[in-house]
Amino acid sequence: MLEAKNLMVFYENMLALNNISIACPENSIVGIFGANSAGKSTLMYALSGIMLDIRKKEKMAGGERITLSGDILFKDQNINDMEPSRRARAGIVLCPERRRLFKESSVLENLRIGGYLATRAQARQTLEYVMTIFPALEKLRHRLGGFLSGGEQQMVAIGRALMAQPKVLLLDEPLMGLSPLMQSALMKATRSIQRETKISVIVSEQYARPVFPIVDYAYILENGSAVMEGTKEELMDNPDVKSAYFGVS
């Protein structure tokens, strides 16, 4: 459904993504694992098209040159030049790193902002769904974004992305800074969302452990290169993966 083929991204002379090819088939959850600076966010920006905006801004400001090559395909169509807003409308929705909620707006307002691409009926229905999947948000409807815990903020961030009616949801490091309990709850919720709505999910994280139980397939990035890939079972059976990403040997 969403694919990157031979993707290369340079920030000026620095190679951030080195010939990356990944595929997220319909109805699946794909994990992207890698340490700090491995290139996870760069990949998410390339898939969502935000990289085109970043590149434009840098160019206008006379800043560093960002070079992109390779292909992004959505439903087998090349979308290299498709603006991020059009990609979102087509169903590629990014839930960015660090959540980026509107801190001065309530939970409800934050969620409704996400629904700008939806019809009124869709927005109403999805809002109800978000409250079912994250019941903790029900009593926080009127709480300001800035007064939520990290976990609650992440629920709102995922809920807001769902309001945009995604076909593929891109979750960039959704678990950063959260307790193990919250991490596990969020990943279970993500699995339920995928099963119930049939949307596909690409989720990036530094640590594979909390995400692994829910992925169908995963890629491991190191310094911008995909060094390993496989189904959950294949990766679990690999001793290198075990010691590097699970701390067991």
Q: Which residues bind ligand ATP (CB under 6 A)?
A: 11, 14, 16, 34, 36-42, 64, 97, 206
Q: Which residue, 72 or 133, has its beta carbon nearer to ligand ATP? A: 72
Please report how close the Cβ of residue 20 comes to ligand ATP at its closest, in angstroms: 11
Please report how close the Cβ of residue 16 comes to ligand ATP at its closest, in angstroms: 4
Look up residue 132 and give its two tokens. 């079912």
Q: Which residue, 177 or 213, has its beta carbon nearer to ligand ATP? A: 177
Residue 90 and residue 167: Cα distance in Å, rounded?
8
Look up residue 32 and give its two tokens. 């992207």
Please report how close the Cβ of residue 69 comes to ligand ATP at its closest, in angstroms: 16
Q: Which residue, 4 or 140, has its beta carbon nearer to ligand ATP? A: 4
Please report how close the Cβ of residue 29 comes to ligand ATP at its closest, in angstroms: 19
End-to-end CA, the chain: 35
Please report how close the Cβ of residue 116 comes to ligand ATP at its closest, in angstroms: 26
Please report how close the Cβ of residue 36 comes to ligand ATP at its closest, in angstroms: 4
Q: What is the DSSP string of 176-224?
A: TT--HHHHHHHHHHHHHHHHHH--EEEEEES-STTTGGG-SEEEEEETT
Look up residue 88 and give its two tokens. 């979102």
Q: Which residue, 163 or 178, has its beta carbon nearer to ligand ATP? A: 178
Residue for token pair 């530094």: 206
Residue 4 and residue 22: Cα distance in Å, rounded?
5
Q: Which residue, 70 or 109, has its beta carbon nearer to ligand ATP? A: 70
Helix (H) or strand (E) holding 19: strand 14-24
Q: Which residue, 25 or 63, has its beta carbon nearer to ligand ATP? A: 63
Q: Nearest Cα to 67, choosing from 51, 91, 86?
A: 51
